[in-house]
């Protein structure tokens, strides 16, 4: 059994400041009727939420799909005139080891193999109690608290006791839960059950044992105007990748400036950490996967599948792009997975190894990191997302928005983003390395088909997966949760 945490330092949750973002920018990408619906909902939200705070709570401000969702949504909500705040909880390594274990088990994998026993529960509850004591702001009756994923789920009861409407947003799930997944639901259910609404990314992800009347499905979405997704011209792409050290061939790249999420100017300056024999040639056909160093993203399988099943005569190179593992506080397994990928690559024959690049992007400046990802995706000939499990997989929508053909596993929300053979290619078995290699090679060998799929992909994201739609969905679930909450607490007549 694991030992209880020593709590060697003060627990210090903190608020992430996000500036307002104007909804007007959506006018450039939305059809007129959808823009009108967004404007109507914005007016209604300002009236409903006047004098209230909408709190978002999660466990990190750096890295991962939840952060990619929160940053723009908080900014746009503030731009719509709603007092919206974002708090990141804190904890010692023992806490994040437990929550990573929960995360893995919710995906049906054992992770570190540790138990969710009484000691794990003590770690979880005691750290969240310390976060509650140090919470940076007062949650008042009538506020709305959105708790994202398992890490802060244990705050539900306390937030309800403070008089808030509580929404638990689960960003992870599996299509076919096994006994391990269900046992993990049992561990979390006492913390989650009191919430006024449970939001899942897909209907299939909703847990058994929750009140089905409170279950809501909101697919995630992307921000078309963020540094990660804004359009970049070819020259900016080339210079960005040269400055970051990701691609060779630009002797004097000069400077690259960009607009940050808060509207201020930024500059690409930092270099990626690279494991490679030589820099990626600028004319090489790049096959790119952008993911965390996480076993569920299968970096080992991506490397092996490319090495064994994408022939040298394609002239293709693989670039697996992840975050600098030293900068992602809630992912203790990242360094271990990166080292395993490095070892697998190092064991390959020299001529194969030379075509495989492992890139860890700096996380000191999240907007700079996002521009690097944007440039790398636009430079790619083919983009992969060969995950073993996914909640939704926002990197797929991001890649599709760039007009690139995506090869991805038929798991989780990926299969709702891609229409197989039309707006991407789905792999029925993500562990079938030969199928992954064959699908990759087919797209590399058929440029017209790859371009057609890429065009269809961008239009599908425009129609379904931009975050203007998510703002409408969240407004609806908040309105319903507040309505239920206020009917319960309203004074009863004689």
Tokens for 42? 């914005």
Domain shared by 204 and 169, yes or no? yes
* Residues whose CB is less than 8 angstroms from the CB of residue 45 and which lie 6 or more positions away in sequence, other chains included: 77, 80, 81, 82, 475, 478
Tokens for 20? 């307002």
Q: Report the chain's mean pLDDT, rounded to a whole number.
A: 92
Q: What is the mean pLDDT of residues 215-221?
A: 93
Cβ neighbours of 266 (radius 10 Å): 18
Q: What is the mean pLDDT of residues 221-249?
A: 93
Domain shared by 31 and 172, yes or no? yes
Among candidate residues 276, 277, 269, the one with its CA nearest the CA of residue 242: 269
Residue with tokens 């397994």: 333
Q: Can you give the pLDDT at residue 263? A: 80
Domain shared by 295 and 398, yes or no? yes
Whether residue 186 has pLDDT greater than 60: yes
Contact 65, 393 (CB under 8 A): yes
Cα 34 to Cα 468: distance, rounded to the nearest angstrom: 9
Contact 385, 406 (CB under 8 A): yes
Q: Can you give the pLDDT at residue 307? A: 98
Among candidate residues 348, 338, 271, 343, the one with its CA nearest the CA of residue 305: 348
Domain shared by 241 and 99, yes or no? no
Q: Can you give the pLDDT at residue 1? A: 39
Tokens for 382? 């083919």
Domain shared by 190 and 249, yes or no? no
Tokens for 456? 């269809």
Domain shared by 472 and 416, yes or no? no
Q: In this structure, is residue 229 part of a structural domain?
A: no
Q: What is the pTM of this model?
A: 0.77
Q: Can you give the pLDDT at residue 328? A: 61
Domain shared by 452 and 472, yes or no? no
pLDDT tens by residue, 86-110: 999 999 999 999 999 999 999 888 8
Cα 399 to Cα 443: distance, rounded to the nearest angstrom: 15
Among candidate residues 446, 129, 160, the one with its CA nearest the CA of residue 285: 446
Q: What is the mean pLDDT of residues 362-367?
A: 92
pLDDT tens by residue, 16-49: 999 899 999 999 998 899 899 999 999 999 999 9
Q: What is the CATH number of the domain that holds 27?
A: 3.40.50.2000
Torsion of CA 382, 359, 113, 331, to 10 degrees: -110
Q: What is the mean pLDDT of residues 233-249?
A: 94
Q: Which domain holds residue 241?
A: 234-464
Q: Can you give the pLDDT at residue 111? A: 81
Among candidate residues 281, 280, 279, 278, the one with its CA nearest the CA of residue 350: 278
Domain shared by 380 and 243, yes or no? yes
Q: Can you give the pLDDT at residue 479? A: 96
Q: In this structure, is residue 480 part of a structural domain?
A: yes
Residue with tokens 């997704």: 229
Cα within 13 Å of Cα(93), Cβ side: 5
Domain shared by 473 and 354, yes or no? no
Q: What is the mean pLDDT of residues 306-329?
A: 91
Q: What is the mean pLDDT of residues 132-147?
A: 97
Q: Where residue 394 falls among pLDDT bands split at 50, 70, 90?
A: confident
Q: In this structure, is residue 7 part of a structural domain?
A: no
């Amino acid at each position: 059994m694991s030992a209880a945490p020593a709590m060697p330092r003060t627990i210090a949750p903190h608020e992430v400041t996000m500036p307002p973002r104007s909804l007007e920018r959506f006018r450039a990408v939305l059809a007129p009727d959808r823009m009108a619906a967004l404007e109507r909902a914005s007016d209604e939200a300002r009236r409903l939420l006047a004098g209230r705070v909408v709190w978002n709570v999660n466990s990190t401000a750096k890295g991962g799909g939840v952060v990619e969702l929160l940053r723009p949504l908080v900014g746009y909500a503030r731009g719509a005139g709603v007092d919206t705040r974002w708090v990141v909880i804190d904890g010692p390594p023992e806490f994040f080891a437990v929550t990573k274990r929960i995360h893995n088990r919710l995906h049906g994998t054992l992770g570190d193999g540790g138990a969710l026993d009484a000691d794990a529960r003590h770690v979880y509850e005691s750290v969240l109690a310390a976060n509650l004591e140090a919470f940076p702001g007062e949650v008042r009756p009538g506020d709305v608290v959105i708790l994202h994923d398992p890490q802060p789920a244990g705050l539900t009861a306390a937030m309800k006791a403070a008089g808030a409407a509580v929404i638990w947003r689960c960003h992870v799930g599996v299509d076919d839960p096994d006994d391990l997944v269900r046992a993990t639901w049992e561990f979390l259910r006492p913390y989650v059950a009191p919430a006024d609404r449970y939001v899942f990314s897909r209907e299939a992800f909703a847990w058994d044992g929750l009140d089905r009347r409170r279950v809501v499905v909101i697919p995630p979405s992307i921000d078309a105007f963020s540094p990660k997704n804004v359009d970049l011209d070819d020259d900016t792409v080339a210079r960005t990748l040269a400055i970051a050290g990701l691609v060779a061939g630009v002797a004097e790249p000069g400077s690259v400036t960009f607009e940050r999420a808060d509207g201020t100017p930024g500059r690409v300056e930092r270099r990626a950490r690279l494991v490679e024999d030589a820099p990626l040639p600028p004319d090489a056909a790049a096959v790119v996967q952008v993911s965390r160093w996480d076993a569920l993203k299968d970096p080992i399988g991506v490397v092996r599948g490319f090495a064994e099943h994408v022939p040298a005569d394609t002239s293709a190179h693989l670039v697996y792009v992840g975050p600098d593992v030293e900068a992602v506080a809630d992912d203790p397994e990242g360094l271990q997975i990166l080292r395993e990928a490095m070892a697998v690559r190092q064991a390959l024959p020299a001529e194969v190894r030379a075509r495989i690049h492992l890139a860890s992007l700096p996380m000191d400046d999240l907007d700079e990191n996002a521009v690097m990802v944007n440039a790398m995706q636009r430079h790619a000939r083919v983009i992969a997302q060969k995950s073993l499990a996914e909640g939704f997989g926002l990197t797929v929508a991001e890649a599709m928005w760039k007009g690139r053909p995506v090869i991805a596993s038929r798991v989780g929300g990926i299969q709702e983003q891609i229409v197989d053979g039309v707006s991407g290619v789905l792999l029925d078995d993500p562990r079938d390395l030969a199928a992954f290699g064959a699908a990759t090679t087919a797209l590399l060998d058929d440029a017209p088909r790859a371009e057609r799929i890429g065009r269809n992909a961008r239009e599908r994201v425009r129609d379904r997966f931009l975050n203007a739609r998510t703002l409408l969905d969240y407004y609806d679930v908040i309105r319903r949760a507040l309505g239920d909450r206020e009917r319960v607490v309203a004074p009863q007549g004689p």
